[in-house]
């Protein structure tokens, strides 16, 4: 069997940053070992920058790729949602080409697996080409109790369509959209299916969400009114949304809370008390695009929360690049070590989406893809850093 030996200024193995080592891989990209550079023997291939496992994009909406550049920035969540609803219906060929382009860009940006939100069957043909492994989250919405049965059955039929295209049932789940869009009746239909699955939910993406759960008022009521949604059944619990819905997810194998822009310390402590398998997914560029704000990420670091990264959609982002998300975090919070950010982007993400058997780190026998991060500043990822796939 033939081998390749790769050496860079730094090697991030999925958990920590290493120097003075060589990565040994087989011809098909399977990890053989990491050895001391003095033991490498024949001259290794030399790279400038950081060699890292491929990136995991834990939150994407591939089916919205055709909305790139169409939605105004910094207009707030409610206006953003209304804009998406009014513009998402476009010709099928346009949507398909946009998804092809977006997936190609993710591959070029070093992404090797994706957690993807599916409200429609639009992305299933693209995914059937098997260019990337996906965890498909069939997202259900239905705020009015009378809709629950129909919305649940529609979600089940959509899941069946993805299975027909070859999607692995272990990477397919019916999942709630957000606490303000899922009625108690719909929750009750979904909960039995959470066992053994990663379940994702949009969490505290806007201040309006917490206001609604605290007082039953605020900007979300404007959205309901514009969409002719009745919310008379809802009684505000007088708390943040997280404490309201988190117990409903207790049977899930893993929980992926997405955005978390307006989480406070009590919310973080609640997730820590809930168990080991809660992941906070950050999509900072989308948060800036929609709300012009990003989460208090040092709060998550200080409490040792398990963090992963996502891109959200091209309706709310200029690109689908995990490196660009890392760069945005570093700009806002330069004290967070680059190795910590890369862990979020690789091994944490692979574990959250149950792709860690093969992806996420340079353990012998895995085939995680290899990304080179170039143009470092004093050994760290900076504004001008770029990445390219080696494998």
- Contacts (Cβ under 8 Å, ≥6 apart) of 346: 12, 14, 52, 53, 54, 55, 56, 360, 361, 368
Question: Is residue 234 very low, low, confident or very high in pLDDT (cuts 50, 70, 90)?
Answer: very high
CA distances from 131 to 18, 308, 346 (A): 30, 22, 18
Q: Mean pLDDT over residues 225-253, rounded? A: 95
Q: Is 123 helix (H, G, I), strand (E, B) or coil?
A: coil
Task: Output helix, strand, coil percentages for the chain, rounded to the nearest 5.
Answer: 40, 25, 35
Say if CB 287 and CB 293 are below 8 A apart.
yes
Element (H, E) at 57: strand 55-60
Helix/strand/coil for 56: strand
Given this model, what pLDDT does residue 43 score?
83
pLDDT mean across residues, the chain: 96
The model's pLDDT over 382-391, given as tens digits with 9 standing for 90+, comes to 999 999 999 9
Residue 338 CA to residue 359 CA, distance in Å, equals: 20
Q: pLDDT at residue 241 above 90?
A: yes
User: Higher pLDDT residue, 40 or 139?
Assistant: 139
Distances (CA, A) of 283 to 153, 295, 314: 30, 9, 12
Give residue 276's pLDDT. 81
Predicted confidence (pLDDT) per residue in 342-356, tens digit: 999 999 999 999 999
Per-residue pLDDT tens digits for 154-185: 999 999 999 998 999 999 999 999 999 999 99
* pLDDT(42) > 80: no
Output the pTM of the full model.
0.98
Distance (Å, whole) CA 82 – CA 87: 9
Give the CA angle between residues 314, 59, 277 to the nearest 5°: 170
pLDDT of residue 308: 98
Q: What is the pLDDT of residue 2?
A: 86
Task: Please check the confidence at residue 253 and state whether its pLDDT lies above 90.
Answer: yes
CA–CA distance, 166 with 129 (Å, rounded to integer) = 10
The residue to which tokens 């949304």 are assigned: 241
Taking only the tens place, the pLDDT of each residue in 263-278 is: 999 999 999 998 889 9
3 state DSSP class of 244 = helix
pLDDT reported for residue 302: 97
- pLDDT tens digits for range 87-110: 999 999 999 999 999 999 999 999
Nearest to 316 by CA among 54, 130, 102, 121: 102
Lookup result for tokens 């129909």: 150
Q: Say yes or no to pLDDT of 128 above 80.
A: yes
pLDDT over 90 (residue 52): yes
Interacting residues of 332 by C-beta distance below 8 A, sequence separation 6+: 284, 294, 297
Structure tokens at 227: 């969409």
- How many C-beta neighbours within 10 Å does residue 326 have? 24
Q: Domains in the chain, please, with CATH?
A: 3-51+380-389 (2.30.40.10), 55-359 (3.20.20.140)
Report residue 170 as tokens.
């272990």
Residue 217's pLDDT band, with cuts at 50, 70 and 90, is very high
Mean pLDDT of 57-62: 98
Tens digits of residue pLDDT in 283-331: 999 999 999 999 999 999 999 999 999 999 999 999 999 999 999 999 9
Query: Mean pLDDT across the stretch 201-220?
Result: 96
């Amino acid at each position: 069997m033939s081998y390749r030996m790769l050496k860079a200024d730094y090697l991030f193995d999925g958990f920590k940053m290493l120097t003075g080592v060589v990565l040994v891989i087989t011809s098909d990209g399977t990890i053989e070992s990491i050895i001391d550079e003095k033991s490498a023997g024949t001259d290794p291939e030399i790279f400038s920058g950081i060699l890292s496992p491929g990136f995991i994009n834990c939150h994407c909406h591939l089916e919205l790729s055709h909305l790139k550049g169409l939605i105004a920035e910094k207009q707030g969540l409610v206006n953003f949602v209304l804009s998406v609803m009014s513009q998402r219906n476009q010709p099928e060929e346009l949507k398909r080409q946009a998804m092809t382009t977006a997936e190609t860009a993710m591959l070029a940006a070093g992404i090797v697996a994706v957690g993807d939100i599916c409200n429609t069957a639009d992305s299933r043909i693209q995914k059937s080409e098997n260019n990337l492994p996906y965890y498909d989250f069939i997202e259900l919405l239905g705020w009015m109790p009378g809709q629950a049965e129909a919305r649940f059955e529609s979600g089940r039929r959509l899941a069946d369509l993805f299975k027909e295209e070859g999607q692995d049932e272990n990477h397919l789940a019916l999942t709630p959209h957000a606490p303000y869009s899922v009625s108690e009746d719909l929750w009750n239909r979904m909960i039995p299916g959470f066992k053994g699955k990663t379940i994702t939910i949009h969490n505290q993406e806007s201040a309006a969400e917490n206001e609604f759960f605290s007082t039953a008022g605020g900007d979300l009521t404007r959205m309901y009114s514009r969409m002719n949604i009745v919310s008379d059944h809802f009684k505000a619990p007088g708390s943040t949304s997280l404490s309201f819905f988190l117990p409903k997810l207790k049977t899930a194998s893993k929980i992926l809370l997405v955005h978390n822009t307006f989480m406070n310390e009590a919310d973080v402590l609640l997730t820590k008390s809930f168990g080991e398998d809660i992941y906070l997914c950050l999509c900072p560029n989308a948060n800036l695009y929609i709300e012009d704000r990003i989460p208090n990420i040092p709060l998550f670091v200080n409490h040792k929360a398990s963090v992963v990264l996502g891109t959200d959609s091209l309706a709310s982002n200029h690109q689908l690049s995990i490196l660009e998300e890392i760069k945005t975090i570093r700009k806002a919070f330069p004290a967070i070590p680059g190795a910590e950010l890369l862990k979020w982007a690789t091994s944490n993400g692979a574990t959250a989406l149950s792709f860690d058997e093969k992806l996420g780190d340079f353990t012998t026998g895995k085939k995680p893809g290899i990304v080179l991060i170039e143009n470092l500043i004093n050994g760290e990822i900076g504004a001008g850093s770029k990445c390219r796939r080696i494998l």
